[in-house]
Amino acid sequence: MTSTQRIAFLKGHGTENDFVIVPDPDGRLELPAAAVARICDRRAGLGGDGVLRVVRSAAHPEARAMADEAEWFMDYRNGDGSIAEMCGNGVRVFARYLLHAGLVEAGEVTIATRAGVRRVHVAKTGHVTVSMGRAELPEESVVVTVGGRSWPARNVNMGNPHAVAFVEDLDHAGELRTVPPFSPAEVYPAGVNIEFVADRGPRHVAMRVHERGSGETRSCGTGACAVAVATARRDGADPAVTGTPVTYTVDVLGGSLSITELPDGTVEMTGPAVIVAEGTFDPEWLTAALA
Ligand SMILES: N[C@@H](CCC[C@H](N)C(=O)O)C(=O)O
């Protein structure tokens, strides 16, 4: 990149899990971790929980094999620049961007992610639904600790790792922004996203989340799916056994998500996905950030 080039960005969010979207269809832009962290910095950069780089699958080595199924690859990065397999709010916002940019028609859209191809239903307005694949619930027992308190947690994998802890009161998780929770490195050698869950009513819970690589965020889509499945099992509900879908409303700090587990084990998530703004990076700022 030379300092004369103008690189576009957009800002979007899903239940206030916010992202900087960087269209890079031909995969020309190197985005080192430090540059992503700079872009996501809420004071010195644009600010965001993560970056969604929009690349043609055929132009990205990690997505080439999915190019026949999904034209676009979501190259997701956490706010600290680390790479994650999947982002549930991000994939809805990504689909909203593709429609906004005229790159897809409204309706069914397939998107390549590091966790595989995801099918998304995006209409011209309104909520976006994504089929998130199956949850895996390994049997390892996990304990989550924050601020001197510990809880048993359920290990759930939604393409990315989660530890789901049920608490009586979400405030018991303390000040997650300043006191990050801890979970066993033997179970999660690559780190973990940690959700704290409290009951709100029948098939209705609320959660707070501390995300690997981003800290406490106002929402996590994969986390909400992990929470819904863990709560269903706690409540004795398993659609694979009963043949009946189970839907949970999961309140997050930034809104509400509806999560349905189907009898075939796949999990569908529905929620908002909003494009807020678009612009261009200052070339000198970006050149320095990329250096
Ligand atoms: N906010 C995301 C999850 C992003 C990835 C996560 N921090 C990880 O490292 O696995 C979501 O909406 O799912």
- Dist. CA 84 → ligand 1 center (Å): 7
Residue 227 is assigned to a structural domain of this protein: yes
Q: Is the pLDDT of residue 3 over 50?
A: no
- Classify 43 in phi/psi space as left (phi over 0), alpha (psi -120 to 50) or beta: alpha
Q: Total structural domains in the chain?
A: 2
Quick one: pLDDT at residue 8?
98
Q: Are 163 and 153 in contact (CB under 8 A)?
A: yes
Per the annotation, where are the binding residues?
17, 78, 88-89, 160, 193, 211-212, 221-222
Quick one: pLDDT at residue 181?
75
- Dist. CA 86 → ligand 1 center (Å): 6
Which residues surround ligand 1 with Cβ inside 6 Å?
A: 17, 78, 84, 87-90, 160, 193, 211-214, 217, 220-223
Looking at the fold, whether 147 and 262 belong to one and the same domain comes out as yes
Looking at the fold, whether 117 and 160 belong to one and the same domain comes out as no
pLDDT, tens digit (0-9, with 9 covering 90-100), for 254-276: 999 999 999 999 999 999 999 99
C-alpha radius of gyration, the chain, whole number: 19
pLDDT, tens digit (0-9, with 9 covering 90-100), for 30-81: 999 999 999 999 999 999 999 999 999 999 999 999 999 999 999 999 999 9
Q: What is the mean pLDDT of residues 154-173?
A: 94
pLDDT, tens digit (0-9, with 9 covering 90-100), for 189-219: 999 999 999 999 999 999 999 999 999 999 9
Quick one: pLDDT at residue 135?
98
Quick one: pLDDT at residue 173?
83
Nearest CA to ligand 1 atom 1: 220
Task: Classify residue 80 as exposed, middle or buried by CB count within 10 Å of its CB (0-12, 13-18, 19+).
Answer: middle
Looking at the fold, whether 101 and 166 belong to one and the same domain comes out as no
Tokens representing residue 260 in the block: 């349905």
Residue 61 is assigned to a structural domain of this protein: yes
Looking at the fold, whether 265 and 212 belong to one and the same domain comes out as yes
- Please confirm, yes or no, whether 225 is among the known catalytic residues: no
- Please confirm, yes or no, whether 87 is among the known catalytic residues: yes
State ipTM.
Answer: 0.99
Domain that holds residue 162: 142-271
Question: Mutation test of ligand 1: which of 222, 225, 253 has the most ligand atoms closer than 8 Å to its C-beta?
Answer: 222
Ligand 1 atom index nearest CA of 217? 1
Q: Is the pLDDT of residue 163 over 60?
A: yes
Quick one: pLDDT at residue 141?
79
Task: Give SS3 for 222.
Answer: helix
Place of tokens 């409290």: 198
| CATH number of the domain enclosing 24 | 3.10.310.10
Looking at the fold, whether 122 and 175 belong to one and the same domain comes out as no
Q: What is the mean pLDDT of residues 143-164?
A: 93
In 3D space, the residue among 129, 140, 163, 155 whose CA is nearest the CA of residue 267 turns out to be 129
Q: What is the mean pLDDT of residues 129-147?
A: 92
- Dist. CA 218 → ligand 1 center (Å): 11
